[in-house]
């Protein structure tokens, strides 16, 4: 991918752990430089320490002022941005009846507003490099479930926002795609998946297992890279075949 004297630069949100950290590590292995964005300052500082080519930026992606400052700081550091991975997300598990407005807004603020804000702040730089955006949705945005009113709706909106962005940015040769992961045993999923849900997922997924962070990262890095140069506006389900079976979400 890379020219070591002029490496491509990616911005990865939610980079302090889980899928965002795995994506950062894979991009670094492929010769990218990475701006690691997270609101968890202690964890971000700990994991970025010693990652050559990476630089941490503390930012809450749901706060417009934070995002504007982050965009300025990243560009002052790198001078260019070739890819934006909108990965930061929060989990939520509850039906409509239990979801008060504050809870609903908390999910939307990170999962949807964060994608909007980071994209808007960094699109001018991406237009200059003919770069790419990869948004992270979920199979919960493709299939409804009685237990995921806020999370599933936020991720369905991310899928539609991906298509809107692809339509709008195509004339600038900026590609926008979306990865919809199935279940991955990160901190986010462990917090909300009971033993019954884990067993039900194993049954419902043709590959009979959860995904690993690096397996989702591989799909993200592919879509961010020039190897996906004629792919835009797409949703890639990295889900062990779950989406292809038509089985309902546990």
Active site members: 151
Residue whose CB is less far from ligand NAD, 7 or 22 = 22
Of 18 and 131, nearer to ligand NAD (C-beta) is 18
* Window 132 to 151, contacts with ligand NAD (CB under 6 A): 136, 138
Dihedrals phi, psi of 142, to nearest 5 degrees: -105, -30
Q: Which stretch binds ligand NAD (CB under 6 A): 60-68, 124-132, 162-170, 221-229?
A: 60-68
Q: Does 131 bind ligand NAD (CB under 6 A)?
A: no
- Quick one: which segment of 27-35, 57-65, 125-133, 225-233 binds ligand NAD (CB under 6 A)? 57-65
The residues in 31-50 that bind ligand NAD, with binding defined as CB under 6 A, are: 38-40
Q: Which is nearer to ligand NAD, 91 or 166 (CB)?
A: 91
Output the smallest distance, CB 18 to ligand NAD, in A: 2
To ligand NAD, the closest distance from the beta carbon of 19 in angstroms equals 4
Applying CB under 6 A, which part among 125-133, 166-174, 177-185, 195-203 lies near ligand NAD? 177-185
CB 80 within 8 A of CB 32: no
Residue written as token pair 């199979």: 139
Rounded to an integer, what distance in angstroms lies between the CA atom of residue 243 and that of residue 83? 27
- x/- track of binding to ligand NAD for residues 74-93 (CB under 6 A): -------------xxxx---
**The binder of ligand NAD chosen from 23, 24, 62, 225 (CB under 6 A):** 62
Q: Decide: helix, strand or coil at residue 18.
A: helix
Residue 14 lies near ligand NAD (rule: CB under 6 A): yes
Identify the DSSP state of 99.
-
Q: How many CA atoms lie within 13 A of 173 on its CB side?
A: 6
Enter the tokens of residue 160: 């539609």
CA distance 8 to 92: 34
The reply to whether 19 sits near ligand NAD by the rule CB under 6 A is yes
Helix (H) or strand (E) holding 243, with range, is helix 242-245
Q: Which is nearer to ligand NAD, 136 or 166 (CB)?
A: 136
Identify which range of 59-67, 94-102, 121-129, 196-204 contacts ligand NAD by CB under 6 A: 59-67
The count of C-alpha atoms lying within 13 angstroms of the C-alpha of 194, restricted to the half-sphere facing its C-beta, is 5
Taking the least distance from each CB to ligand NAD, the nearer of 7 and 107 is 107
Rg (CA), the chain: 17
Q: Give residues with Cβ within 8 angstroms of 234, minimum separation 6.
A: 177, 178, 223
Q: Which residues contact 35 (CB under 8 A, 6 or more apart)?
A: 9, 10, 11, 12, 54, 55, 57, 74, 77, 78, 81
Q: Interface with ligand NAD by CB under 6 A: which residues?
A: 13-14, 16-20, 38-40, 60-62, 87-90, 110, 114, 136, 138, 181, 183-184, 186-189
């Amino acid at each position: 991918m890379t020219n070591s004297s002029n490496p491509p630069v990616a911005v990865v949100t939610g980079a302090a752990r889980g899928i965002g950290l795995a994506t950062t590590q894979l991009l670094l292995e492929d010769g990218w430089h990475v701006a690691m964005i997270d609101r968890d300052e202690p964890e971000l500082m700990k994991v970025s320490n010693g990652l050559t080519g990476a630089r941490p930026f503390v930012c809450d992606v749901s706060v417009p002022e934070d995002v504007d400052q982050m965009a300025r700081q990243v560009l002052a550091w790198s001078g260019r941005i070739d890819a934006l991975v909108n990965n930061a997300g929060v989990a939520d598990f509850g039906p409509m009846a239990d979801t008060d407005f504050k809870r609903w807004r908390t999910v939307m603020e990170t999962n949807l507003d964060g994608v909007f804000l980071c994209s808007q702040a960094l699109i001018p730089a991406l237009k200059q490099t003919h770069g790419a955006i990869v948004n992270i949705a979920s199979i919960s945005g493709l299939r409804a479930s009685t237990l995921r009113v806020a999370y599933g709706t936020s991720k369905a909106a991310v899928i539609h926002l991906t298509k809107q962005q692809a339509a709008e940015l195509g004339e600038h040769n900026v590609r926008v795609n979306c990865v919809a992961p199935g279940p991955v045993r990160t901190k986010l999923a462990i917090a909300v998946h009971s033993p019954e849900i884990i067993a039900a997922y194993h049954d419902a997924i043709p590959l009979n297992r959860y995904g690993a962070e690096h397996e989702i990262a591989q799909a993200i890095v592919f879509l961010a890279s020039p190897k996906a140069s004629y792919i835009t506006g797409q949703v890639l389900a990295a889900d062990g075949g779950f989406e292809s079976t038509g089985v309902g979400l546990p």
